[in-house]
Amino acid sequence: MESMSVMASDMGYDPRDGQTRDQIEGTTQEDRARDLGMMSEQLKNRSMEVFFEVGEDENLTYPWAPDVDFNKRTELDCEGKTTTEVNKDIYSLMEEGYGTIVLQNPRGMHSVGVGILNRLNLIVEGSIGYFGVGLIDGPNVRINGRVGWSCGENMMSGTVVIEKNAGSTFGAAMRGGDLVCKGSVGSRTGIDQKGGTIIVGGDTGAFSGFMMQRGRMVVCGNAGKNLGDSMYDGTIYVGGEVRDYGVDAIPAELTDLDKAWLTRKLTQYDLMPENGVDHFTKIVAGKQLWNYDNLEPNEKKLIL
């Protein structure tokens, strides 16, 4: 449970300086969401951005998920294996109790580590191709190479850290967890993002945050054209230049809470810029594409 409790507190509400525990616990989830620029209605289900109670012992594992020991480590050589064989081997190793699996020689293999619904430390020694670690719910993944298109697509929870560059549609339709690329990523990053956090150490391409619905995206470098086009909600932070804004994406004031959150997240992944985070631009939805005010909260949920 060690990694999951770390993850839960990462995703959770950040105790603000100067506040007592009672004060923090006295605020509602709605208040915290509003403070962070999120929607105000109460959200349910793990597919949404859930703010965990500090210290709460959430039961995040699936009932049928094998119990693994993070100290039990093994290596899996992808040489000569198909993607299906590698993914089946990962499952078999988890059933044997291995909690740390190191993949060797992936050499651009597609769909590696897709659909892992369990706690696991997955270390990839090399680069993977398309759809890497998509649809995951729980594992902590570290990739020492590059990833192709659609890495972390539909990811539900866990952390994925990529040391080099990533392809397009990075974190598409992502729902939760932290997806971090220390290099630059391609186009359409976080398209249809529904939750979680995407962090890019370098630049991102065109149409990033397109139809973003919820969650947060941080780009330390520059962003390509049409950033945040048709976004419904969510927040994008850009440290460099924005080539242009998409329809209904507008800059917003970077609050102290934003700065604190950025500082914590970027420090956590060793991506903190030397000049701090004060220069970041915050981008949110202008909410002109939908008449939000005339909608009931339940109707808003249908849109989002």
* Positions in the binding site for another protein (CB under 8 A): 105, 107-110, 126-127, 129-130, 144-146, 148-149, 164-165, 167-168, 183-188, 205-207, 224-225
Smallest distance, another protein to C-beta of residue 304, A: 25
Residue 213 CB, nearest approach to another protein (Å): 21
Task: For residue 232, count CB atoms less than 10 angstroms from its CB and return exposed for 0-12, middle for 13-18, buried for 19 or more.
Answer: buried
- Written in H, E and C, the secondary structure of 27-83 is CCHHHHHHHCCCCCCCCCCCCCCCCCCCCCCCCCCCCCCCCCEEEEEEEEECCCCCH
Closest distance to another protein from the beta carbon of 246 (Å):
13
**Total residue count of the chain as it appears in this document:** 304
Please, are residues 248 and 202 in contact by the beta-carbon 8 Å criterion? no
Exposed/middle/buried for residue 256 (C-beta within 10 Å: 0-12, 13-18, 19+): exposed
CB of 138 to another protein, least distance (A): 26
Taking the complex as a whole, the smallest distance from the CB of residue 172 to another protein amounts, in Å, to 13
Q: Which residue type, as a one-letter code, is found at position 292?
A: Y
Cβ 187 to another protein, closest distance in Å? 4
Give the residue with the Cβ less far from another protein, 229 or 258. 229
What is the C-alpha to C-alpha distance for residues 142 and 126, in angstroms, rounded to an integer? 10
* Closest listed residue to residue 143, CA positions, set 194, 183, 187, 175: 183
SS3 242: strand
Closest CA to 176 of 54, 60, 22, 30: 60
CB 94 within 8 A of CB 66: yes
